[in-house]
Amino acid sequence: ALSSRLGRTFGAKILATSLLLAIMVGVNVFDAAFARPKLNIEAGDFHLVDIEGRNFRLSDFRGKIVLLEFFVSSCSPCKPQLLELKGVRAAYPKDILVIVSISFDPSVDTVQALKQLAGSIGVDWIVARDTAGISDDYGIEIAPTILLIDGGGVVRRVHEGFTEKGVLIADVGELLEVKSKEPPGTSSLWNVALIIIVAIAAFSAGFLAWHRRKSAKRRRTKR
Find the mean pLDDT for residues 190-218. Answer: 64
Residue 29 has what pLDDT? 44
**C-alpha to C-alpha distance for 73 and 129, rounded to whole angstroms:** 11
**Residues above pLDDT 70, as percent of the chain:** 65
Which range among 6-20, 23-37, 167-181, 199-213 shows the weakest confidence by mean pLDDT?
23-37
Return all residues near 214 (Cβ < 8 A) that are at least 6 apart.
Answer: none
Task: Give the domain 47-177 fold.
Answer: Glutaredoxin (3.40.30)
Domain ranges within the chain, ordered by starting residue: 2-35+185-222, 47-177
Instruction: Tell whether pTM > 0.75.
Output: no
Residue 38 has what pLDDT? 86
Phi then psi dihedrals of residue 103, to 5 deg:
-80, 125
Of the chain, the end-to-end C-alpha distance in Å amounts to 13
**C-alpha to C-alpha distance for 73 and 103, rounded to whole angstroms:** 7
